[in-house]
Structure 1
Amino acid sequence: MKTAFLYAGQGSQHKGMGEDLYRDFDEFREVYDKAGVSFDLKKMCFEDPDGELNQTKYTQPCMVAFAAGVTAILDKNGIKPDYLAGLSLGEYSALHAAGVWDAETAVRLAAFRGEAMTKAAEGVDAGMTAVMGLSEEELQKCVDKAEPEGVVSICNDNCPGQIVIGGEKKAVDKAAELAKESGAKRCMPLNVSGPFHTKFMSPAGDKLREYFKDIEFSDEKIPVVFNVKGSERAADETVQELLEKQVQSGVKMTQTIEYLLDNGVRSFVEIGPGKALTGFVKRTAKAMNVDDIECTTLETSDEIKSFLAGNHLAE
């Protein structure tokens, strides 16, 4: 049975994340202690005293540090997947796990990305809404009709029946209204600080392109399924190009999971915090009539200890 590690994206962060892992695992502790960020990483993750963890510029390095710490634990125990993928920010954690960067570089890149996205969002009255129950084609028609109100586009295709739209709030609200009229079961506004994965993030893409010039990228040692493609990269594509495009383009998570299922993956390990990706996998597998999948979530110390005790993926 083939296995994929899936890394969570921004939105599942919470106060206290990683505190038990820092206490119980040397490998996790080393990642946090070496993270070269401009703020107290442990205090932000474990205590969040000023309520700043949800700010993008802090969320992103915290999430990648958490993921890198869990990856270090699994690696120490000889546990490797056949494929890697992540949701948006989680793609940086997947690339770290693939050997493209070390943990310190991955955290530093996430911090830069978070700052760049924060600046790109300044001055935009932004909105993002999850739409349930419409196909991409049906929702795109609503988005097209709402464009006179401003910029709006599909920014996350999470799983069958759940697609996120984003852009200028007025246009997003109009598209959501039209989606309800077209039969959407639910439209849920998301608490976000910017129009992520839309063309407003183009300046962030430009900054990442320049920043990447000073970063060493190694080849992937484990196949990575990329957000902007829903597949592995082609020989004439670079990781840098795909990441630059990713920040300002829609995330194809449904297609990513479909690709993994089509290539024989039946065991999915979500490296959190959170369980959102597990839900996406189950809904996608159901739509494809695949019923022999196994899903595991790794966030807490107890979950990881239980997983290690099974050790069925160890080399």
Structure 2
Amino acid sequence: MKRAYVFPGQGAQVIGMGRDLAEAYPSARAVFDEVDEALGERLSALIWEGEIAELTLTQNAQPALMATSIAAVRALEAEGVSAMDAAFVAGHSLGEYSALCAAGAMGLSDTARMLRLRGRAMQDAVPVGEGAMAAVLGLDFDAVTAIAQDAAEGEVCEAANDNDPAQVVISGHKAAVERAAALAKARGAKRAMLLPVSAPFHCALMQPAAEAMAEALKGVQINAPAVPLVANVKAEAVSDPEEIRNLLVAQVTGRVRWRESVAWMAEQGVTQMIEVGAGKALSGMIRRIAKSVDVVAINTAADAKTLAERIGEAHV
């Protein structure tokens, strides 16, 4: 069976995520300890016992979600299932950093520090209240792109996340995004709703954050991943460290081409995708994109054991 590991992005965070893994596997606990040390604070305490409003702050959510994903990777390794045996890794937005860490392209401490910086830079790029994002359900990418262009009226309004055949997220100036949401409903969208995010991610307004990441990533060791990365902005596999570095910068303002990325992996013969970390949002998207692909979400120790048993039985 040809597998891909996929890693969730912002929005999947919940208080308590990863705690079960840390309690069951010393290697998973060590992930949270290392992230705490890298950031100089007990992020793990916020993740497991804090307030959801604080965890949802971009600068906290990004390293927290990555830590939870890598803890799940370590749990799978403890059960004899390695991400290094996958055909590809991929991640949704910040999940791309989790994917690179899982594939050995970036060290865990560096990944945590980059995501803390990325979260702050993205938050600071646009004053609070000036930007917005909205999810449009029931229209395809081309239709939503046209709506964003028609609604812009000289402001920024772009398709930011092409998530699945009937879910596209738009991002930009708040007034323009509100116009686009209204226009989407008028043009037949099932729903068009503003998202509870603190900044307009993956659009031209993030250029200051892209510049900050370009500078920060200059000082980070990036190795060729042991498993090729299907990059958000290319929707195909890359392995060259300098290309990965450049794509991580481009990703800040660029579109998350998730629908195309999943379809590309399916075209390469991937028959199972393992969502590693918090939530099951990607699993739902994958099922709508590539109906023949088996999707498994790994959130808990029980999930890790169940997958290991399934894989072991398949090899008997």
Amino acid in structure 2 at the alignment position of 1:225? V
Amino acid in structure 2 at the alignment position of 1:42? S
CA contact (8 A) 1:31 1:104 kept: no
Counterpart for residue 215 of structure 2: 210
Counterpart selection for 1:148 from 153, 168, 178: 153
Counterpart selection for 1:283 from 285, 288, 293: 288
Counterpart selection for 2:235 from 225, 230, 246: 230
Counterpart selection for 1:56 from 45, 55, 58: 58
CA drift of 1:121 comes to 2.7
TM-score (norm 1): 0.93
CA drift of 1:124 comes to 4.9
- Counting matched residue pairs gives 309
Counterpart selection for 1:260 from 242, 265, 277: 265
Gaps of 5+ in 1: none
Provide the rounded CA distance (Å) in 2 between the counterparts of 1:298 and 1:227: 21
Q: Secondary structure at the match of 1:5?
A: strand
Provide the rounded CA distance (Å) in 2 between the counterparts of 1:243 and 1:144: 25
Counterpart for residue 310 of structure 2: 310
CA drift of 1:100 comes to 0.5
Deviation larger for 74-83 or 156-165: 74-83
Cα offsets for 1:89-113 (capped at 9, x unmatched): 0000001111111222211211111
Amino acid in structure 1 at the alignment position of 2:87? D
Cα offsets for 1:67-124 (capped at 9, x unmatched): 1111222234242311100000000000111111122221121111111111113355
Q: Which has the higher helix share?
A: 2
Provide the rounded CA distance (Å) in 2 between the counterparts of 1:298 and 1:109: 24
Counterpart for residue 46 of structure 2: 44
For the pair 1:138 / 2:143, whether they are aligned, the reply is: yes
Counterpart for residue 88 of structure 1: 93
Provide the rounded CA distance (Å) in 1 between the counterparts of 2:33 and 2:187: 51
For the pair 1:201 / 2:206, whether they are aligned, the reply is: yes
CA drift of 1:26 comes to 0.6
CA contact (8 A) 2:229 2:239 kept: no
Q: Secondary structure at the match of 1:211?
A: helix
Deviation larger for 246-255 or 293-302: 293-302
Identity %: 35
Q: Secondary structure at the match of 1:247?
A: helix
Provide the rounded CA distance (Å) in 2 between the counterparts of 1:123 and 1:300: 35
Amino acid in structure 2 at the alignment position of 1:37? L
Counterpart selection for 2:183 from 171, 178, 182: 178
CA contact (8 A) 1:168 1:195 kept: yes
CA drift of 1:267 comes to 0.5
Q: 1:172 to 1:222 in 2, by over 3 A?
A: same
CA drift of 1:304 comes to 1.6
CA drift of 1:187 comes to 0.9
CA contact (8 A) 2:125 2:209 kept: yes
Counterpart selection for 1:157 from 162, 165, 171: 162
Provide the rounded CA distance (Å) in 2 between the counterparts of 1:282 and 1:92: 23
Counterpart for residue 193 of structure 2: 188
Cα offsets for 1:206-265 (capped at 9, x unmatched): 111111111111111101100001111386961111000001111000000010000000
Provide the rounded CA distance (Å) in 1 between the counterparts of 2:308 and 2:235: 30
Counterpart for residue 13 of structure 1: 13
CA RMSD of aligned residues (A): 1.8
Q: Secondary structure at the match of 1:12?
A: coil
Q: Secondary structure at the match of 1:179?
A: helix
Counterpart for residue 240 of structure 1: 245
CA contact (8 A) 2:224 2:240 kept: no
CA drift of 1:308 comes to 2.5
Deviation larger for 215-224 or 100-109: 100-109
Counterpart for residue 171 of structure 2: 166
Q: Secondary structure at the match of 1:296?
A: strand
Cα offsets for 1:162-184 (capped at 9, x unmatched): 10001111100101111111111
CA drift of 1:307 comes to 1.8
CA drift of 1:309 comes to 2.8
